[in-house]
Amino acid sequence: MNDKTVRVILSPEAEEAYHTLNSRAADSKLDRSILKAINKKTELIKANIYYGDPISKDKIPTEYVSKYGITNLFRVELPQFWRMLYSLIDGESKVEIIAFVLDVSDHSKYNKIFGYRKK
């Protein structure tokens, strides 16, 4: 699809969520399945940078724009209504694209990020 190398980098928030899931995976089948899905979806993103569902620019949370300066956002669904959010940014060289994972969150945190309210 593209000739550029794709590197996946986790934000501090996504890294924290990943480590938390990893530390609980031995005792929790749910956490193990989410962790396995994150690893699988990461490989899918490396193969196709547009793997996730694009989120329209007007819905990108301002926190992400101000903190990381992103201009695009993609959502990947994980088991048990968890979500992984990532943005595509140019790498340090012209032959690299970075998929920057901003967050890995459960459904309630995802709703909070996007300002969704319970009905």
The enclosing domain of 84 has a CATH number of 3.30.2310.20
| 103 close to 85: Cβ distance less than 8 angstroms | yes
**How many domains does the chain fold into?**
1
| 88 close to 49: Cβ distance less than 8 angstroms | yes
pLDDT (tens, 9 = 90+) of the chain, 119 residues, equals 457 789 999 999 999 999 999 999 999 999 999 999 999 999 999 999 999 999 999 999 999 999 999 999 999 999 999 999 999 998 777 788 899 999 999 999 999 999 887 65
Q: Residue 94: how many CB atoms within 10 A of its CB?
A: 7
Helix/strand/coil for 74: strand
**What's the pLDDT at 94?**
76
**What's the pLDDT at 119?**
57
C-alpha distances in angstroms, 39 versus 19, 61, 68, 70, 117?
A: 13, 25, 23, 23, 30
Q: Please report whether residue 102 resides in a domain.
A: yes
Q: Please report whether residue 118 resides in a domain.
A: no
Q: Please report whether residue 119 resides in a domain.
A: no
| Domain interval for residue 44 | 5-113
